[in-house]
Structure 1
Amino acid sequence: MINHLLIAVAVLSLSKLSSQISTKDDPSYIGAVVEYHPITDGDDGQIIAEANVNNYRTIIRTAASYAVDIIVFPEFGVTSIPSVNARGKAFNASDYRAYYRTAASLIPDPKANEIPCDAATLYAQSLKEISCAAREYSMYVVVNHHERVECPSRNCSPDGFLLYNTNVAFDRQGRLIARYRKYNLLEIGTNATREPVVSTFSTDFGVTFGQLVGFDLLKESPAVPMIGNPNVTDLVLSSRLYNEQPFLDSVQRHAAWAYAADVNLLAAAYNSDLKGSGGSGIYAGKRGQLRVYHPGVPSNALVVAEIPKLSGTRAGIPRQGRSSLHVFKQAEVPTISSSSAAVPKSEQNHTHEDLAAYTSLPVDPKQSPHIVTLCDNGLCCEFHVETKFDEDLAKKQDGSVYYRYRFAVFSGVRQFAADQTLGVEVCSIVSCAGDEIDKCGRLYPEGARVVEPTVFLALYVTRRADLGTRSFYSPTTATRELLPINTTDFGFAIGGPESNSLLLAYLSRPTGNVAAFGIYGRRFDWDGQPPTRPSSAGTSVAPSVVVVAMMLLAVTTRCFERY
């Protein structure tokens, strides 16, 4: 009887994280992010927006039962993304603007101190309902909502209005306290501000948040400037980016960025398995993921975590508190149609980076250790790898398969979208569902009998970098379940002078489950240049005692500084 009572108490404490709102004096607060599969069917954008917000109210009510202080919803979650117009044709820019004109809302300047819930007719009903829900459940609510700004004349736009992809934050009284118009656009038919605007808001529990949307996490502004603001320790991200293997899957990207910036990150994703988007989580900087959810199927879920407050040197901050996951049933949040079949992760419409432009070298797990120097366009990466390989397991004739591995190095410019090129530097090991380079970053089909004959006993990846450039470097880690590797299982360090710093990523315990592991760099100063073509860059194998010594020395040097 006593045992049953103890179990009940334990379950209750995990599912209902707190019974009181957090205060400035508390060492933590309760945050939540929403993985949302929105309603998209229909031709009336306003009706669709109001239906999605009706589901938002259900989700916010559920979050209140966990005493959530702040909840973050994904990009496009309210107004969604229609796939075809009334004529059954794919939308163009004009179609999108016409559709969103009715779904979008006027959004007040935060300086106006307005509560849309109290407005009569000025704002869209969808925006008003979110304001009312924030007040009803006494919760900070962050949502993404298209914004319409009427033009005084048609000089600003031929159709007479500006359309913004806008994130807004409401306080516990339903007051609109922050507005961020997305600057780094990938979608068509949407306007952008002339310069990126840093949007922040403060809370009654003593934390100041910065706002980001979608592609911002891969660009320099406004994300990097917020890292340099000592008052902004936590960021919210509303996202609807396609997942891309092997280095830019959603939770992989979120965890890496939060680690390198050493900030708390609350990332909410638009769930669409057919489009290969989704994957939400809460991350506590170098302490790693507090809770992630990457279902790979149509799903609506609430991710809740107790988040430690960050300040100063971060000393004495616990790695994580309690967390919980609430996956909504179809009866609770009815957005998933019967035609939305579950698609296995291996068959989703994920994008895969073409690694043909990389300099790569197969890893022979039977030959250990490997001490390899691999160079591409002037970037040289050092790999020190020790493996254990079970040949008997690999040779079994029972239909089983196993992953191969490659060292992969890239320094140059890559195409990201139709009109976007990004400067990238990569030093990594990647898993491959076959021996060819085009199999790297891919998974074996679901149902395949995958064995793990290769175990990494030690793995060090290092390179030199000039941190005085416009750049951002992070560890990149992923398991074959497309989840980030726990921060207790790897390390990332930097040492030496700024102009010639040594960057090191290393595994701290053996594992056989590695999809990607290394160092991912963004060179913002290269953005916009033509894509780099495949080169015949050279490789070398150098069992250098000096290199190994530098790696081991770097483990004890200073960790990544915020910049």
Structure 2
Amino acid sequence: MGLIWWQSYMAIFALCAFKTTCLDTFIAAVYEHAVIIHPEHLRPFSQEEALNLMNKNMDILEQAIISAAKQGAHIIVTPEYGISGFISNRLKIYPFLEDVPHPMVNWTPCTDHNRFGNTPVQGRLSCMARNNSIYVVANMVDRKTCDPTVSKCPSNGYYQYNTNVVYDSEGKLVARYYKEDQFDTPFETELVTFDTTFGKFGILTGFDILFHDPAVTLVEKLKVDTIVLPVAWMNNLPYLYPTAFHAAWAMGMRVNLLVANIHNTVSQMTGSGIYAPDSPKVYYMDMNSENGTLLLSQLDSHPKLSPPVNWSSYANSIEPFSTEQEEFKASILFDKFTFKELINDTGNYTVCQNTLCCYLSYKMSEKRTDEVYVLGAFDGLHIAEGEYYIQICTLLKCLTTMLETCGRPVENASTVFDMFSLSGTFDSQHVFPEMLLSGLQIAPGEFEVLNDGRIVNENGTSGPVLMVTLFGRQYEKNKPTNASIDLGSALLMRIITMVFVLYSSIW
């Protein structure tokens, strides 16, 4: 650990000494891109057609990069699949591939475009960074030759990787990260960082953020200040809703997080943001527009961190609240929760499942007869987008007054809470606090996380509440599995979710 820290310190010191003084703050940008998808995307493409499509997307990304640079941004993050669009078939994706070398080769594609063969995408991205003096994070697809006679080598003789690339403000390739996904998986989970004069950055893609490696290791062992996260993230209510979950993750991991999502309302993909450990700085979620959006905000290069939270301290110190309310079971994203209905406008409730007990104290402004709220607990293996163990305590509005609808997607509510306090006997210290208000709005500054593990609101909510959740991850229980959902599974999950929404609407 000491050697890693020293090497990182010396690298940043040398970078600052060579370029300029280190910056205490920087301006970050993320671009939510309404990706252009070819109307005949299900058929194979020629290389010329593939490049034409990618150039159309890069035309849009370039304008966002120019705009961000003019507004003083030091770095911009663009989405997963933001250049190629969605192509899940490895044969059809082949015309979109380029060979992305290791950054150790010291290469600036903008000024040396023929060094590694035909690399028009990398050349253009490099020039966007160089011409605008800004770091550019983008997602593309890499290819690496291999011997087809070797057992792990695909039959076409290429490994194909979903890849993030980073170019510095001079256009030099400084980072390359392979996501584990539907094409080929790196032999070892990659831990990729890059140093700047405004902090140390780590790279993830999509659902990587849900797993210990690489996400937690980047923060806790490699000590990054900021995570960049290109995603194609679906709006999975309630607790995997992108803006709410990403804000919670930044707070729980005590790190800056830059998230750029695809904007595709047909697939219910939207939700980008710039998040700091203390609060979301700026975020965007809009299912009524078909346009992309550029977000900018100033961040601390090295976030000022509050003391770590002991997430089970309070819950382990009290006796269970005594209520005669009966428990019932219902599913959220295929997880079977244990629930109790909140039957009065004020109360204290306990719900337990396995080793997790959740404690809620609350007061509603009014107990409405047309809305039902519940306290729920889940402690077990989640299997909806990869397999991983979770512990969740949640205060949740049900879709209708029928208890069997609890856990189905809900977007609007009418009940305001004068106060709430939610906590749980979590086995892990990796817990992420979330809150959603009516209209799917996150609530910066409307709750406080106490050092003893309670998420509280003492002054009343500004709007009706959809959800308050403590999302805990039990990394030590993980089964060996790919760190990320593949696109095919993602689209299947989107279809299933949309069926849930359609089914729910008939109630």
TM tier, shorter chain?
0.7 to 0.9
The amino acid across from 2:472 in the alignment is G
How far 1:355 sits from its partner (Å)?
A: 6.3
CA distance in 1, matches of 2:427, 2:29: 37
Partner in structure 2 of residue 109 of structure 1:
102
2:274 is equivalent to residue 282 of structure 1: yes
Partner in structure 1 of residue 318 of structure 2:
none
Equivalences for 1:362-511 in 2 at 5 Å? 362-364=341-343, 367-389=344-366, 403-417=371-385, 420-442=386-408, 452=414, 454-467=415-428, 472-486=430-444, 488-495=445-452, 503-511=453-461
Q: Secondary structure, in 3 states, of the residue corresponding to 2:468?
A: strand
How far 1:529 sits from its partner (Å)?
A: 9.5
Partner in structure 2 of residue 199 of structure 1:
192
How far 1:479 sits from its partner (Å)?
A: 1.6
CA distance in 2, matches of 1:164, 1:182: 7
The amino acid across from 2:396 in the alignment is V
Change (3 A) 1:465 1:444: closer
Of 131, 138, 145, 2:126 maps to 131
How far 1:518 sits from its partner (Å)?
A: 2.6
Partner in structure 2 of residue 77 of structure 1:
82
Contact 2:146/2:159 (CA < 8 Å) preserved in 1? yes
Q: Secondary structure, in 3 states, of the residue corresponding to 2:430?
A: strand
2:25 is equivalent to residue 59 of structure 1: no
CA distance in 2, matches of 1:284, 1:293: 15
How far 1:481 sits from its partner (Å)?
A: 2.5
How far 1:230 sits from its partner (Å)?
A: 6.3
CA distance in 2, matches of 1:290, 1:373: 34
Identity over aligned pairs, percent: 26
Change (3 A) 1:478 1:528: same
2:55 is equivalent to residue 50 of structure 1: yes
Partner in structure 1 of residue 504 of structure 2:
none
The amino acid across from 1:252 in the alignment is A
Equivalences for 1:147-186 in 2 at 5 Å? 147-155=142-150, 156-183=153-180, 185=181
The amino acid across from 1:289 in the alignment is P
Task: Identify which range, 138-147 or 40-49, moves more after superposition.
Answer: 40-49
Of 234, 243, 251, 2:243 maps to 251
CA distance in 2, matches of 1:356, 1:529: 20
CA distance in 2, matches of 1:303, 1:218: 24
How far 1:177 sits from its partner (Å)?
A: 0.2
CA distance in 2, matches of 1:456, 1:308: 33
Change (3 A) 1:194 1:443: closer
How far 1:62 sits from its partner (Å)?
A: 1.4
Partner in structure 1 of residue 9 of structure 2:
none
Partner in structure 1 of residue 283 of structure 2:
292
Q: Secondary structure, in 3 states, of the residue corresponding to 1:245?
A: coil
Q: Secondary structure, in 3 states, of the residue corresponding to 1:256?
A: helix
How far 1:27 sits from its partner (Å)?
A: 2.8
How far 1:232 sits from its partner (Å)?
A: 1.1
Contact 1:441/1:515 (CA < 8 Å) preserved in 2? no
Contact 2:391/2:426 (CA < 8 Å) preserved in 1? no
Change (3 A) 1:106 1:504: same
CA distance in 2, matches of 1:170, 1:207: 15
**CA distances 1:343-362 after superposition (whole Å, capped 9, x unpaired):** xxxxxxxxx93467111112
Q: Secondary structure, in 3 states, of the residue corresponding to 2:269?
A: coil
**CA distances 1:298-347 after superposition (whole Å, capped 9, x unpaired):** 221100111122256569xxxxxxxxxxxxxxxxxxxxxxxxxxxxxxxx
CA distance in 1, matches of 2:422, 2:410: 26
The amino acid across from 1:271 in the alignment is H
Partner in structure 1 of residue 475 of structure 2:
524
The amino acid across from 2:465 in the alignment is V
Q: Secondary structure, in 3 states, of the residue corresponding to 2:163?
A: strand
**Number of equivalenced pairs:** 426
CA distance in 2, matches of 1:33, 1:451: 30
CA distance in 2, matches of 1:529, 1:211: 21
CA distance in 1, matches of 2:469, 2:361: 12
Contact 2:110/2:126 (CA < 8 Å) preserved in 1? yes
CA distance in 1, matches of 2:443, 2:225: 23
Contact 1:24/1:206 (CA < 8 Å) preserved in 2? no
**CA distances 1:460-494 after superposition (whole Å, capped 9, x unpaired):** 11122334xxx6211121122223221x2211234
Partner in structure 2 of residue 359 of structure 1:
338
TM-score by length of 2: 0.79
CA distance in 2, matches of 1:291, 1:223: 22
CA distance in 2, matches of 1:516, 1:123: 50
Contact 2:80/2:138 (CA < 8 Å) preserved in 1? yes
Partner in structure 2 of residue 260 of structure 1:
252
CA distance in 2, matches of 1:58, 1:146: 22
CA RMSD of aligned residues (A): 2.4
How far 1:273 sits from its partner (Å)?
A: 1.2
Change (3 A) 1:117 1:529: closer
Change (3 A) 1:48 1:513: same
Equivalences for 1:229-240 in 2 at 5 Å? 229=221, 231-240=223-232
**CA distances 1:501-550 after superposition (whole Å, capped 9, x unpaired):** xx2111232124211103111122333499xxxxxxxxxxxxxxxxxxxx
How far 1:202 sits from its partner (Å)?
A: 1.0
How far 1:443 sits from its partner (Å)?
A: 5.9
CA distance in 1, matches of 2:228, 2:475: 22
Change (3 A) 1:62 1:441: farther
2:91 is equivalent to residue 98 of structure 1: yes
**CA distances 1:164-214 after superposition (whole Å, capped 9, x unpaired):** 01111100111000011113x2xx3x11112211111111x3311000100
List gaps (5 residues or longer) in structure 1: 1-21, 83-90, 316-351, 395-401, 496-502, 531-563
The amino acid across from 1:509 in the alignment is N
Of 19, 31, 55, 2:28 maps to 31
The amino acid across from 1:175 in the alignment is K
Change (3 A) 1:523 1:415: same
The amino acid across from 2:456 in the alignment is Y
How far 1:25 sits from its partner (Å)?
A: 4.5
Contact 1:355/1:438 (CA < 8 Å) preserved in 2? no
How far 1:444 sits from its partner (Å)?
A: 6.4
List gaps (5 residues or longer) in structure 2: 1-18, 308-330, 482-507
How far 1:251 sits from its partner (Å)?
A: 0.7
Contact 2:148/2:155 (CA < 8 Å) preserved in 1? no
